[in-house]
Amino acid sequence: MWSSKVPILLLYVRVFGKPNPWLRLTCHLTIFCTLLLFLSSVILVGIACTPPHTQNTAPIPVSSSGSESASATATATSPPPEFISTCTTAGNTTGFILGFLAIATDVIILAIPVPVLAGMGTMTYLKKAGLFAVFMAGVLALVAGVTAAYYKWLAISQPSEGSMRVAMLCRFV
């Protein structure tokens, strides 16, 4: 989320920011907020998905050399089902929240150039319309974000294997 939006915001600052201090401030605040939200979600999911270190996990035999000798076999532990459920729930909930924050960020990114483009008096109407259309191509990203948020909500509210697959796919949208 963060790494795809920052270049657009930095481009706005470089192209439109010099005569518009409000645009620079808005872009920098948006970059800071999205970075903060991205890092907090990584930390939250990282904490929720850290396997527990307990003695109650079932050992799984793992062979290190391909031979089944007792000396070459180590044991790994499988996490308990509660851990897997907690990790999945944390990932889906965080993805859903970040989905709505991504939609809000997309709206901000789409709205920032509108006053600047409207105030460009030296351009012809046709050039303004063309430039406005290029910036509004970001509406597709907004539609994809809304769709992804819908399927992430389905994964949280009605957990099933199908909705989980779609939610995992939408995590990359």
CA angle 140, 145, 151 (to 5 degrees): 130
Contact 133, 114 (CB under 8 A): no
One pLDDT digit (tens) per residue for the chain, 173 residues: 667 889 989 988 998 878 888 999 999 999 999 899 889 888 988 888 887 765 555 555 555 555 554 444 445 566 677 777 778 778 878 878 888 888 888 899 888 888 887 777 777 888 778 877 777 777 887 888 888 888 778 777 876 666 656 656 655 55
52: which DSSP letter? P
pLDDT value at residue 30: 92
pLDDT value at residue 28: 93
Where do the structural domains in the chain lie, given as residue ranges? 2-51+79-170
What's this model's pTM, rounded to 2 decimal places? Answer: 0.69
In angstroms, the CA 65 to CA 62 distance is: 9
CB atoms inside a 10 Å sphere around CB 159: 14
pLDDT value at residue 71: 47
Contact 154, 163 (CB under 8 A): yes
pLDDT value at residue 154: 78
pLDDT value at residue 166: 65
